[in-house]
């Protein structure tokens, strides 16, 4: 059987079968004792740290097994931080990210291919399984504004039809180029369309600009070239 050797620079006898290992500064450190068989053992745990949080941050004192285990367990628990069981390991997190080491770039590139909510622009055909609506409603229908008496058109009437039972006035400086309003005479007698807009050309009357009469159950559409110029045309219009 091979025997090892314990070699120290200095051993100081403290009496009673005890030896003291000096520290690097020369002062007494850990105490060794010997039994009848010549076996050496530490007489105490002097210098051993038992701190679960490693608060002292010692550069020289050894830590106990218990404190190391407690410290590591606390750090791991803080890292997991009550994560769900399916995502509490690095392997599970990697799998959730598709094992993609460039996950951030992948997501960024994918988002870049999507149309923004504001002012989207499509390079191909767009299809929709549901209905398409705007601020006025379903784009497949022409919204209705029912008016039972005298009525003056407002900007919100653009793109609508007026189901009118009284005189309809076309105002000046309210509508924009491209706006259109359809007027339907929902009565059994003639209905007057009053022109207060600067110009309202009648396309069926040599471009004359004047008030118009819409015959019973007649329908006429006004298209605005600007806020002051419009064109009116329809059935039963004179």
**For the segment 127-182, what is each residue's pLDDT rounded down to a tens digit?**
888 888 888 878 778 899 999 999 999 999 999 999 999 999 999 999 999 999 99
- Whether the predicted pLDDT of 220 surpasses 90: yes
- 49 vs 156: CA distance, rounded Å: 80
Query: Which 3 state secondary structure label does DSSP give 16?
Result: coil
Contact 27, 47 (CB under 8 A): no
Give the CATH number of domain 142-237; options: 1.20.140, 2.60.120, 1.20.120, 3.40.50: 2.60.120
Please give the helix or strand (H or E) that residue 202 lies within, else none.
strand 199-202
User: How high is the pLDDT of residue 131?
Assistant: 82
Q: Is the pLDDT of residue 73 over 60?
A: yes
pLDDT for res 138:
80
Residue 62 confidence (pLDDT): 85
What is the average pLDDT score of the chain?
83
């Amino acid at each position: 059987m091979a025997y090892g050797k314990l070699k120290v620079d200095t051993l100081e006898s403290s009496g009673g079968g005890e030896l003291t290992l000096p520290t690097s500064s020369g002062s007494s450190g850990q105490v060794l004792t010997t039994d009848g068989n010549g076996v050496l053992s530490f007489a105490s745990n002097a210098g051993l740290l038992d701190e679960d949080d490693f608060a002292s941050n010692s550069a020289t004192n050894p830590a106990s097994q218990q404190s190391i285990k407690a410290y590591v367990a606390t750090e791991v628990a803080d890292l997991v931080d009550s994560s769900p069981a399916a995502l509490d390991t690095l392997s599970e997190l990697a799998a959730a990210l598709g094992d993609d080491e460039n996950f951030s770039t992948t997501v960024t590139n994918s988002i870049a291919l999507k149309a923004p909510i504001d002012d989207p622009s499509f390079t191909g055909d767009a299809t929709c399984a549901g209905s398409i609506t705007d601020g006025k409603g379903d784009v497949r229908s022409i919204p209705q504004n029912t008016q039972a008496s005298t009525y003056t058109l407002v900007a919100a009437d653009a793109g609508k039809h007026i189901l009118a039972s009284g005189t309809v006035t076309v105002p000046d400086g309210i509508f924009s180029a491209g706006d259109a309003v359809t007027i339907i005479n929902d009565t059994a007698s003639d209905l007057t369309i009053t022109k207060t807009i600067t110009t309202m050309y009648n396309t069926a009357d040599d471009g004359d600009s004047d008030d118009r009469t819409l015959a019973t159950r007649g329908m006429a559409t006004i298209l605005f070239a600007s806020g002051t110029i419009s064109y009116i045309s329809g059935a039963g219009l004179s």
